[in-house]
Amino acid sequence: MRDKIYSITLSALFIILMIWCPLVFGLAEADIISIPENKNVKLPEKIYEDGEFLAPLLNSIERGKANLDNIYSNCLPMYENITVFMLDNERAMRGTLLDALYSLEKPEPVVAETIAVDIDPENLDIAEQETTEPPPPKIEYTAMLIGTDHLNKYWAFTESGKPYSEGWTDKTLLESEDELWRRLDSQLGHVNRIANANSDVNFYVYVCMRLQDTELFEEIISDIRPMRGEISTKRFVDQFFAELDMSAINAYDYFKIDTLENRLAYIYKTDHHESARGAYSIYCDVINMIANDTPEIGEPYHAEFKKVEGVQYRGSHVWGHGYREIYDDFEYYIVDLPPHNMFESIDGRRRTQSAVEAYESRRYGRDTFFDHYANFFPRPGNIAYTENNTGRNLLMFADSYSWAFSELIAAHFDTTYIVPWTFSGRFEYNEFIRTNNITDVLIIQYSGRILFNTYNDTQLVKVITD
């Protein structure tokens, strides 16, 4: 009997590992079936440049290693259930340990100081006393560490006295301050180098901010004991803007999430990506910034927002912590845009599709952590507004933030070309500008990427300006 159980177990493992997982992966790659977006999609760890010895062979090996990782990370049966179980238990153990450590700390005693003041009642002029209203009470917050990965710590935030299910999640960088300053200096060098490479175009920079980059973060963490030692990265952002070469850059701007209301409205509570309202805010910022130099691109289009009923969106943060109590509603914008064509690659191959009809018909992923942001918004590399006649063509260096707003920004140009952060190989900057009559260039990325190259995947180093 024991031998039969052993044989059955081995056979099941063989079928899963050698047949089931590769089959599911292949069917998903061919768009025949869909699998949960589990946030574990692996890209090649290294890309060998053209001209390097055995580059094609080495790149094939790197792609093969990444695909093997994808096959056995995302296609195992009950993968999502197993991962959630492990994350829940890890978070519970971590919380118990932190609570125990904090309970051992003894707060310093507070000594009240009494000051005696002599007041002469006869000389007291009541009319001269100020009667200003007291300031509104300061909102206090609590935070709980709920997860870590190799790049970030993940936190749940809420107002004091409220459950975390009514709050939001965010993350802080793990890199040391010295390393962040080194990375900032490197990224500044690339941005200024590209800006100075061609004086025939208007050049713009836009930073899609994180909570840790704002004064709001400093305000929130000031009274939260578990967050002692966490740094604000606002001074890094300030330094970045201060050292941009404004002799070559027309203007810069940033994502306005420096109030709690904007943070919760403009970025998903469980994701670092912007919501539909955040995408519209970024779009308005960019168009208004560029229109100061070229008013012919027009003013931002009006947008309305519609909620997709039934969606509980748990975004990219969840795979760093597994905290499921918080979720977002999912909205999209409705804008009456001119006729246009969108293609998935910068050279105009393979037309993109809209997900509005599918979502309105309730045809969308129902898995707990299905990535609605990545599934809903298109990923264009080339957008042509066929009836525009602005005489202006835009080149954007962008990342996944751009999926939610690139269609809007492109509506103000004749053709928009988008270089994604996953771009491989060399990008011949000046040649592309000449060939495609580029008039405006915009670098617009998530701050973790444009400031710090957190993921070691920035494409700016691949932009050849010689």
The per-residue pLDDT for range 177-210, each reduced to its tens digit, is 999 999 999 999 999 999 999 999 999 999 999 9
**Does 307 map to a domain?**
yes
Residues 330 and 215 in one domain: yes
- Place 1 in a pLDDT band, splitting at 50, 70 and 90: low
| C-alpha span between 311 and 331 (Å, rounded) | 9
The per-residue pLDDT for range 271-291, each reduced to its tens digit, is 999 999 999 999 999 999 999
Lowest mean pLDDT among 56-70, 119-133, 251-265: 119-133
Residues 344 and 460 in one domain: yes
Residues 65 and 196 in one domain: no
Residues 304 and 193 in one domain: yes
Q: Above 90 in pLDDT, residue 371?
A: no
Residues 48 and 194 in one domain: no
- The per-residue pLDDT of the chain, averaged, comes to 82
Q: Above 90 in pLDDT, residue 392?
A: yes
Q: Which amino acid is at 449?
A: R
% the chain with pLDDT above 70: 73
Single residue among 76, 94, 125 that ends a domain in this structure: 76
CA dihedral 433, 434, 435, 436 (to 10 degrees): 50
Burial 160-184 (b: 16+ CB within 10 A, else e): eeeebeebbbbbbbebeeeebeebb
Give the residue numbers spanning the domain of 407: 175-464
Single residue among 76, 107, 136 that ends a domain in this structure: 76
pLDDT of residue 91: 52
**Does 295 map to a domain?**
yes
Q: Above 70 in pLDDT, residue 108?
A: no
pLDDT of residue 276: 97
pLDDT of residue 232: 95
| C-alpha span between 168 and 272 (Å, rounded) | 11
Q: Above 70 in pLDDT, residue 11?
A: no
**Does 439 map to a domain?**
yes
**Does 127 map to a domain?**
no
Single residue among 61, 76, 91 that ends a domain in this structure: 76
Residues 6+ apart with CB under 8 A from 218: 232, 234
- Give me 29's structure tokens: 């790659």
The per-residue pLDDT for range 24-52, each reduced to its tens digit, is 667 766 656 655 544 444 545 555 555 56
| C-alpha span between 390 and 14 (Å, rounded) | 60
pLDDT of residue 337: 94
The per-residue pLDDT for range 434-463, each reduced to its tens digit, is 999 999 999 999 999 999 999 888 778 889
**Does 429 map to a domain?**
yes
Residues 367 and 227 in one domain: yes
Residues 70 and 191 in one domain: no
- Rounded to an integer, the average pLDDT of 67-94 is 60
pTM confidence score: 0.76
Q: Which amino acid is at 339?
A: P
381 and 343 Cβ atoms separated by less than 8 Å: yes
| C-alpha span between 313 and 372 (Å, rounded) | 7
The three state secondary structure string of the chain is CHHHHHHHHHHHHHHHHHHHHHHHHHHHHCCCCCCCCCCCCCCCCCCCCCCCCCHHHHHHHHHHHHHHHHHHHHCCCCHHHHHHHHHHHHHHHHHHHHHHHHHCCCCCCCCCCCCCCCCCHHHCCHHHCCCCCCCCCCCCEEEEEEEECCCEEEEEEEECCCCHHHCEEEEEECCCHHHHHHHHHHHHHHHHHHHCCCCCCEEEEEEECCHHHCHHHHHHHCCCHHHCCCCCCHHHHHHHHHHCCCCCCCEEEECCCCCHHHHHHHECCCCCCECHHHHHHHHHHHHHHHHCCCHHHCCCCCCEEEEEEEEEECCCCHHHHCCCCCCEEEEEEECCCCCCEEECCCCCCCECCCCHHHHHCCCCCCCCCCCHHHHHCCCCCEEECCCCCCCCEEEEEECHHHHHCHHHHHCCCCEEEEECCCCCCCEEHHHHHHHCCCCEEEEEEEHHHHCCCCCCCCCHHHEECC
**Does 120 map to a domain?**
no
Stronger pLDDT, 354 or 232, i.e. the higher one: 232
55-74 vs 21-29: helix crossing angle, rounded to 10: 110
- Place 423 in a pLDDT band, splitting at 50, 70 and 90: confident
- Rounded to an integer, the average pLDDT of 14-30 is 67
pLDDT of residue 112: 36
**Does 116 map to a domain?**
no
- Place 217 in a pLDDT band, splitting at 50, 70 and 90: very high
pLDDT of residue 226: 83
Domain count, the chain: 2
Adjacent-strand bridge partners of 154 = 147, 171
pLDDT of residue 64: 72
Q: Which amino acid is at 274?
A: E
The per-residue pLDDT for range 252-267, each reduced to its tens digit, is 999 999 999 999 999 9
| C-alpha span between 159 and 379 (Å, rounded) | 36
Stronger pLDDT, 425 or 293, i.e. the higher one: 293
Residues 55 and 184 in one domain: no
